[in-house]
Structure 1
Amino acid sequence: MYNYLKQRFKHAIRFRHKRGYGVHSPFVFDLITSVIKEKAVYYDFERIEAMGNIREKERKLYRLLFRLAEYFSYRNVLCVGVRSPWVSMYLAAVSKQMVLLNGGCAYLGAEYTEQVKPGDLKGRKIDMVFLGRAFEEDWDEAWEEVLRVRKRGPLCIVIKDIYKGRFNSLVWRQLRQEGTVSIDMMWYGIVFFDTRLQKGRYNMII
């Protein structure tokens, strides 16, 4: 708990990119203004959220995942460590061409295209990876190798609870060190692996 509160305090001090101020990268400025801070309510949001009660913090994250996939035309997404159907519902709504892979446990009501193991991904394209709260339970060395190969990019990784769990925090620090562009959003983090981009680290909260 002490470490979590310390990280929140440090994040608050560094929090300076809320609306794109101080951002010199055109890519990141556009990402903040057109995706992260975008407020449009898509029809699918209302349809999905009418199915049950979703906490405000969770809803913000799921909507952000939708906007990321929609804006960058991600159509091959891998989810690991997700223990609810909501992530899959939002991502599946992005496009009829969405290939949504579940690399963890099956969950009732989820809308994944396919459940996969690390060996199933050889030669398959992955645009985005979402590492959920429980991804440590689904992780092993085989997944580590999959991720190592994919880090050549281009790839977007979103990881949840980057300060709450020891394992999540460790993986987040490693991803941020290796990635091209990273955004620390306190509750979760985004890392882009893409040599075409200008390297940078940013901190903000939606």
Structure 2
Amino acid sequence: MVYSPLIAASKYFKYYIHASNSKGHGMHSPFVFEFITKVMNDFTRYPDYERVEALRKQLQNDPSVLTVQDLGAGSAKSSASTRKVASIAKNAAKPAKYGQLMYRMIRHYGALRILELGTSLGITTSYLAAANPEARVVTLEGAPSVAQKARENFTSLGLNNIELVEGNFDDTLPAVLNALEKVDFVFIDGNHRKEPTERYFQQLLPYIHNETLLVFDDIHWSAEMEAAWDNIVVQDAVTCDIDLFYIGILSFRKEFKEKQAFAVRF
């Protein structure tokens, strides 16, 4: 069950007090220092930002209704089987700062094989695809009506490097990974439960490499998600984890001689 606003606020306060500053001062990890100074603190207003945010604004005013088959832990705002596009855009889509951060990550690290678990309306997907037009972006969505709306959004933005796969992740993920062979960047945002989150991580492991980055959404969303994150970061393959509270980032770089764990204000 999702944390109440009071518990969530308490957890955020604890995170903020203990997290490193967002300037990179005193950061002894060259990789994390570069991430903070060159990616987090890249304040360039890329033209793609305006394009995607114009789409977001349009969707936030879209009164059309979609049938939603929620295969994950459900929406924190609504458990209805039908939802307005405007409601999904306002409550379920990742805020702009996180989509734009992942955009900068893909640009900076040159990711070419990108996977997203949980398309929704495709706002974040659009950031992932726009960041590198040469990249192959595969995104998975369980609800057909939502997937169709996302496809329309990709077309409206002229994004031609996205392949949307419909269906339950349990059924679609293995074949998608086999087809990709390797993954450079993965955003996991489709099932906010402990067991599936950990299972997706295990399924991804054979397809990662030294420069792969995994981003997990809502790692402090619930006790289940916190438990999943805690279990994942201690796995041998993970050499560095960065907690930004609303998302968590994993690196697998073997040049790290010891595990590194950071919480950074963002």
TM-score bin, normalised by smaller chain: 0.7 to 0.9
Q: Structure 2 CA distance, aligned partners of 1:171 and 1:82? A: 21
SS of the residue aligned with 1:51? helix
Does residue 113 (structure 1) correspond to residue 113 (structure 2)? The answer is no
> Which among 221, 239, 260 is matched to residue 180 of structure 1?
239
Aligned to 2:122: 85
Give deviations 1:11-61, integer Å, cap 9, x for gaps. 122122311012111111111000011110111111121223277971000
* 8 A contact 1:101–1:114 mirrored in 2: yes
Matching residue's letter, 2:140: G
- Does the 8 Å CA contact 1:81/1:135 hold for their aligned counterparts? no
CA contact (8 A) 1:81 1:133 kept: yes
Q: TM-score, normalised by structure 1?
A: 0.86
In structure 1, stretches of 5+ residues that fail to align are none
Q: Under a length normalisation based on structure 2, what TM-score does the superposition of the two structures give?
A: 0.68
Query: Which of structures 1 and 2 has the bigger CA Rg?
Result: 2
Shift of 1:68: 0.4
Structure 2 CA distance, aligned partners of 1:150 and 1:63? Answer: 25
The number of residues matched between the two structures is: 206
Amino acid corresponding to residue 219 of structure 2 in structure 1: I
Partner of residue 262, structure 2: 202
2:212 is equivalent to residue 155 of structure 1:
yes
Give the conservation status (yes or no) of the 8 Å contact 2:244–2:265. Answer: yes
Contact 1:91–1:100 (Cα < 8 Å) also in 2: yes
Distance of aligned partners of 1:136 and 1:78 in 2 relative to their CA distance in 1, 3 Å threshold: farther
Distance 1:21 1:144 in 2: 32
How do 1:10-159 and structure 2 match up within 5 A? 10-53=14-57, 58-105=95-142, 107=147, 108-110=149-151, 111=154, 112-115=162-165, 116-122=172-178, 124-132=181-189, 134=191, 136=193, 139=196, 143-150=200-207, 153-159=210-216
* C-alpha RMSD of the superposition: 2.8
Q: Deviations over 1:101-147 (max 9, x none)?
A: 12332522244324253133126110111011645499488745422
- Is this contact kept in 2: 1:133–1:161, CA < 8 A? no
How far apart are the structure 1 equivalents of 2:174 and 2:225? 19
